[in-house]
Structure 1
Amino acid sequence: MAHYQRNGKIPPKRHTQFRDPAGNLYYEELMGEEGFSSDSSLLYHVNVPSAIAGARTWELPDQTTVPNAPLTPRHLRLHELFTGQEWKSTDAVTGRRLVLGNGDVRIGYAAVGETSPLYRNATGDECVYVESGTGTVETVFGDLNVGQGDYVILPRATTHRWVPSGDGPLRLYAIEANSHIAPPKRYLSRYGQFLEHAPYCERDLRTPTTPRVVEEQDVEVYVKHRGTGPGGLAGTVHVVPRHPFDVVGWDGCLYPYAFNIADYEPITGRVHQPPPVHQVFEGRNFVICNFVPRKVDYHPLAVPVPYYHANVDSDEVMFYVGGDYEARKGSGINVGSVSLHPGGHSHGPQPGAVEAGVGAEEFDELAVMVDTFRPLDLGEGGRATDDGVYAWSWAGRGTDA
């Protein structure tokens, strides 16, 4: 994020001596993007942040993908990935299942009830959408309490873990970039402040609580990093001699934060507005949009349901998380569904939806969309939940609606 934050105890001048009450120096760590040329934060550790006492290979969850061939739209039922009581023994790191992916972004899903190991994604930022449930994301910067509808942005290499709470599963839709994830540039001034036309602003963002020092020794940290495995990834478990949550203070413009989808103010117009007005974040070669309950087009002859469109430059992934999605009625899609509409296929409303939507004044729908500018392949989670018939739904065949 571009706006400055400070948390805990820090010295008045950076890169100067900062000592604890006993006279011992704190260890200053610069966590920064693009070398020393972009946003960064300075963290002050009790212990040496580089120290490791051991390492072993971590066999990542299945990262293999296969092409979407033959090229068809897909309907993936993500709730089928975790059935019965399986979620109770699943965590958000080792239990995450890959649904879709390419060289720029991977989309995973998990329903969890176990505390995850400490985790650091060294390949890119993560944007994790909380479909349902509650929990805490404990990070080296401090904690974030999260719940239904929260986006959690975790900068690359942020050490953190997921701690579920409550009686039911914490359902997480994880968007993992091979780049950074940030608000769209068109929402920001040249200095990084949200502009007046932006659908959310700094007041809507939640930042971590004051960091705390955890006194534990020989702690494991799971690291996902670049390698030669499927998707160009590999995993390592580092054993660190002191717990990485030993920060007494930090300041800067790089940190995790949460933003709730209910705080997104939709942009509407007299005629149908295209998906870019619903954008919430962007990464390299992909964007994240959300469709929220809103008043719809108010031209007297408006057609509120989207027109048919051919995504010639992108694949479109829609995750349906609530409400009543007008354009997909009759397709079998429901809450927990993902639709994949690949570039090269003209898609749009189901038969009858356009006429049925005429005269509507508002839509009660909630969905998270990812548009990618390179084709998406199917991960094992996507292959396992493909309904196999969605492609024929516009022809009125094969659906279970």
Structure 2
Amino acid sequence: MTWYQQMGKIPPKRHIMFRKEDDSLFREQVMGTKGFSGIQSILYHHNPPTQFYKTDLIGNRHVVYEEQGALRPRHFYTDNVNNEPSDAVMGREYVLGNEDLLIGVVNPIENMDYFYRNGDGDELLFVHHGTGEIKTTFGTLQYKPGDYIVIPVGTIYRVAPDKGESKLLVVETNSWITTPKRYRNEFGQLLEHSPFCERDIKGPEKLETYTEKGEFEVRTKSRGYLHSHYFANHPLDVVGWDGYLYPWIFNISDFEPITGRIHQPPPVHQTFEGHNFVICSFVPRLYDYHPEAIPAPYFHSNVDSDEVLYYVEGNFMSRKGVKQESITLHPSGIPHGPHPGKVEASIGKKETLELAVMIDTFRPLKVVKKAQQMEDVNYQYSWVEKK
């Protein structure tokens, strides 16, 4: 999925002496997955990355889920989340989750006055509104609306949003996020029939090395708790790195939709996969071109997966009553499909301008208790035709 990258200064071979101008050694850090058998990168620091002088336990980051209720479709207006000024991590409002991932939103307005790393798994941030930059140990990434930002487990980073409206969809995992296996060959290269290619993937744009002394806090999420580690040296003190593990960006506008004569199933929209979940992109596209095609999706049963949709923009052709920033959950065990009148209304239409992110999970999702405050409780009955 990712390919070999090199930034900054590195020695000619791994695990050999790499000296500074004063003849002292840079400190080598191997950062990899699956023990030492997954993808990895090697970073070279001015200071040992282990040199913290104080630790604190900030608190429990486990979310509280609601008690089991009747199985039903759910709808959450996430534009109703707490809009008090906060940053891209501490301001996260979680909506859904299970043993594999957490799904939430955040309106980052403030700069983080600390650094952060998720020690439990990869993170994916989808930028609905706003621009800014993310400074990481691997370098700086500039982000804009439509960007999927993939941040590997253990990456130290800080989000600095520009002024103005800002909204991120957040997916936190305890696994790795990658591109779909069926779109890659045995060497990891994206194939010709893939709806995107390596040219569409952007890694860090520049490596900025900081050597300041002071007090620097790195907040680490691990084992469901948030911890603080304080360093006397700036944590972004990397002078160079190389490898296959690093943060990267893919913009949803670069997803090339796969269309056909009749309605295509959701897997053609798949963009990412992780352990027990997939993420898909619904983008503007031409409708089906069979002379008798019904563009609206057929009714279908989620036999073994829960389906989540985050609505970005446009008029979603199979739904009514949803709006930008809505999240819907259609749970496994019961069928779902277009709202009344949407099948007939779709006939003869040539294209859709909808934009949405879909997350399918293969273990049931639970609703975060706090998310009930933003729920549209009548959504479950919106398929009943009014006479």
Name the TM-score, length of structure 2 as normaliser.
0.97
- Partner of 1:316: helix, strand, or coil? strand
Q: Distance in 2 between matches of 1:157 and 1:384?
A: 32
Report how far residue 68 of structure 1 moved: 5.1
Q: Distance in 1 between matches of 2:77 and 2:108?
A: 17
Report how far residue 216 of structure 1 moved: 3.5
Q: Distance in 1 between matches of 2:370 and 2:6?
A: 40
Judged with a 3 Å threshold, the aligned counterparts in structure 2 of structure 1 residues 283 and 67 are, in CA distance, closer, same or farther, namely farther
Counterpart residue identity of residue 123, structure 1: D
Deviates more, 1:67-76 or 1:247-256: 67-76
Counterpart residue identity of residue 378, structure 1: V
Judged with a 3 Å threshold, the aligned counterparts in structure 2 of structure 1 residues 67 and 196 are, in CA distance, closer, same or farther, namely farther
Counterpart residue identity of residue 82, structure 2: F
Q: Which of 317, 325, 329 is residue 340 of structure 1 equivalent to?
A: 329
Q: Distance in 1 between matches of 2:118 and 2:14?
A: 27
Contact 1:61 1:96 in 2 (8 A): no
Counterpart residue identity of residue 350, structure 1: H
Match of 2:207 in 1: 211
Match of 1:310 in 2: 301
Unaligned stretches of 5+ residues in structure 2: none
Superposed CA deviations along residues 292-315 of structure 1, whole A, max 9, x for unmatched, are 000010001100000000101010
Q: Distance in 1 between matches of 2:67 and 2:304?
A: 17
Does residue 160 (structure 1) correspond to residue 151 (structure 2)? The answer is no
Q: Distance in 2 between matches of 1:224 and 1:369?
A: 26
1:263-282 equivalences under 5 Å are 263-282=254-273
Does residue 198 (structure 1) correspond to residue 187 (structure 2)? The answer is no
Match of 2:376 in 1: 387
Does residue 11 (structure 1) correspond to residue 7 (structure 2)? The answer is no
Contact 2:209 2:236 in 1 (8 A): yes
Across the two proteins, how many residue pairs are aligned to each other?
384
Q: Which of 121, 126, 136 is residue 124 of structure 1 equivalent to?
A: 121
Q: Distance in 2 between matches of 1:378 and 1:259?
A: 28
Q: Distance in 2 between matches of 1:22 and 1:189?
A: 46
Judged with a 3 Å threshold, the aligned counterparts in structure 2 of structure 1 residues 62 and 109 are, in CA distance, closer, same or farther, namely farther
- Partner of 1:237: helix, strand, or coil? strand
Does residue 115 (structure 1) correspond to residue 111 (structure 2)? The answer is yes
Runs of 4+ in 1 over 3 A off after TM superposition: none
1:70-109 equivalences under 5 Å are 70-83=70-83, 86=84, 89-109=85-105
Counterpart residue identity of residue 185, structure 1: K
Q: Percent identity?
A: 48
Superposed CA deviations along residues 249-297 of structure 1, whole A, max 9, x for unmatched, are 1000000001100000000000000000000000000000010000010
Match of 1:229 in 2: none
Q: Distance in 2 between matches of 1:297 and 1:119?
A: 45
Q: Which of 189, 196, 211 is residue 185 of structure 2 equivalent to?
A: 189
Match of 2:35 in 1: 35
Contact 2:61 2:226 in 1 (8 A): no
Contact 1:308 1:346 in 2 (8 A): yes
Report how far residue 235 of structure 1 moved: 1.3
Aligned-pair Cα RMSD in Å = 1.2
- Partner of 1:395: helix, strand, or coil? coil
Q: Distance in 2 between matches of 1:13 and 1:220?
A: 32
- Partner of 2:125: helix, strand, or coil? strand
Unaligned stretches of 5+ residues in structure 1: 227-232
